[in-house]
């Protein structure tokens, strides 16, 4: 191995004692490829196994915690006990290749396609439609419904424990329900679940508490709880960098095992909300909470030199690879074996079978020019 890449392969230990063999993580990516009944498909198992032999940890695509939270066609389910055996197949496929397996859990809220949820009724913090074109007006959740969904996050965490996962990641990013409650765009409530910045934090924090309660009561082994967040929203009003730093200050005191940023570009700078607009979002985040809780950075890390630069310039302890592992599932192994010159950074349109990418995911990749380099 080239000496400059050694830092990527240092082991890492979380505060609860869970060890990773290196500092590289597979980022969660929706793959649209589950069976119609909500179970994990053989194609998905092969897809994950193909990408689990190099990284230290794999974070799965999100699974929905309640029936009205399904956000994608071909999304595997986790909202009932009958899906636990299916989830176990997934954790076994990942762990069988030596990586830790983390199940991402979420509720899609107003971003759910109506045809995927009961009676076509989408729900959210308030009746504000998504900014996505043609979005349906959601039904505001009642207090008892909010508490049911919070409990559902705990129940799905129990299933993850029973299925042999090493942890769960609470999906508080990308505009889904947890972010909707935190967002001044989506949440115009005036009760205990909205209004002030502190009240907009109430739902995300209640989910964290419920998940951690489930871990304390159900797990007999170290089991990780992470939280993913998007630093800002484009809408006005919307989440600002200042809002996110306030949330992170609170989350950093919740004994989480890690925080995971959702970014398209690791080096992106704040849109608004802070005086310092020259430093990157990652730098501001790491300065605030980096000494309290491990942070996973992500975003357009394609070449091995990109990863080294990110670690050298920010001291981020963990890096997630998303699109790059679609392009080259052997990225990690090539660097470890001193074959970094063989790393592929643009998708080869003739290699779907070799890359073990299921047909539904391949079709999505090919339909979005520029999302994956080479398309």
Catalogue the active-site residues: 176
Contacts of 65 (CB under 8 A, 6+ apart): 78, 79, 105, 106, 107, 149, 152, 153, 155, 156
Task: Report phi then psi at 321, rounded to 5.
Answer: -115, 125
SS3 at position 95: helix
Distance (Å, rounded) from C-alpha 208 to C-alpha 181? 14
Cα–Cα distance, 166 to 173 (Å, whole number): 21
The encoded tokens of residue 255 equal 């004994």
**Cα–Cα separations (whole angstroms), residue 251 to 39, 99, 223:** 32, 26, 18
CA-wise closest residue to 14 among 266, 261, 226, 332: 226
- The contacts of residue 28 (CB under 8 Å, 6+ apart) are 59, 60, 61, 62, 104, 169, 171, 228, 322
- 135 HSE (CA, 13 A, CB side): 18
Strand 19-20, strand 12-13: pairing: antiparallel
| Cα separation, 143 vs 163, whole angstroms | 30
**Residues shown for the chain:** 375
Return the closest-CA partner of residue 263 out of 304, 237, 300: 300
CB 334 within 8 A of CB 342: yes
Work out the angle at residue 14's Cα, subtended by the Cα atoms of residues 170 and 296, and round it to the nearest 5 degrees: 50
Report which of 139, 95, 57, 318 is spatially closest to residue 87, judged by C-alpha positions: 95
């Amino acid at each position: 191995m080239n000496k400059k890449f050694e830092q990527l392969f240092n082991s890492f230990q979380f505060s609860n004692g869970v060890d990773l063999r290196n500092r590289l993580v597979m980022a969660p990516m929706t793959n649209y490829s589950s069976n119609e009944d909500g179970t994990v498909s053989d194609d998905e198992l092969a897809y994950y196994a193909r990408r689990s032999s190099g990284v230290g940890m794999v974070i799965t695509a999100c699974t929905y915690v309640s029936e009205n939270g399904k956000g994608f066609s071909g999304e595997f389910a986790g909202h009932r006990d009958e899906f636990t055996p299916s989830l176990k197949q997934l954790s076994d496929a990942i762990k069988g290749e030596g990586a830790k397996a983390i199940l991402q859990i979420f509720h899609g809220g107003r971003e759910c396609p109506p045809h995927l949820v009961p009676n076509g009724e989408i729900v959210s913090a308030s009746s504000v439609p998504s900014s996505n074109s043609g979005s349906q007006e959601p039904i505001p959740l009642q207090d008892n419904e909010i508490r049911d969904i919070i409990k559902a996050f705990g129940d799905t965490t129990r299933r993850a424990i029973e299925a042999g996962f090493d942890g769960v990641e609470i999906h508080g990013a990308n505009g889904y329900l947890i972010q909707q409650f935190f967002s001044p765009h989506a949440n115009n409530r005036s009760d205990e679940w909205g209004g002030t910045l502190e009240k907009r934090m109430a739902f995300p924090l209640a989910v964290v508490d419920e998940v951690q309660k489930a871990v304390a009561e159900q797990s007999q082994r170290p089991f990780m709880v992470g939280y993913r967040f998007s630093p800002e929203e484009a809408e006005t009003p919307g989440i600002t960098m200042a809002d996110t730093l306030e949330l992170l200050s609170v989350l950093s005191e919740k004994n989480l095992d890690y925080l995971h940023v959702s970014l398209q570009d690791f080096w992106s700078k704040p849109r608004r909300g802070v005086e310092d607009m020259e430093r990157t979002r990652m730098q501001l985040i790491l300065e605030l909470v980096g000494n309290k809780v491990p942070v996973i950075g992500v975003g357009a890390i394609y070449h091995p030199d990109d990863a080294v630069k990110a670690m050298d310039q920010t001291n981020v302890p963990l890096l997630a690879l998303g699109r790059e592992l679609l392009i080259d599932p052997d990225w990690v192994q090539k660097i470890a074996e001193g074959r970094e010159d063989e790393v592929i950074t643009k998708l080869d349109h003739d290699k779907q079978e070799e890359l073990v990418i299921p047909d539904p995911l391949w079709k999505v990749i090919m339909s979005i020019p520029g999302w994956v380099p080479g398309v």
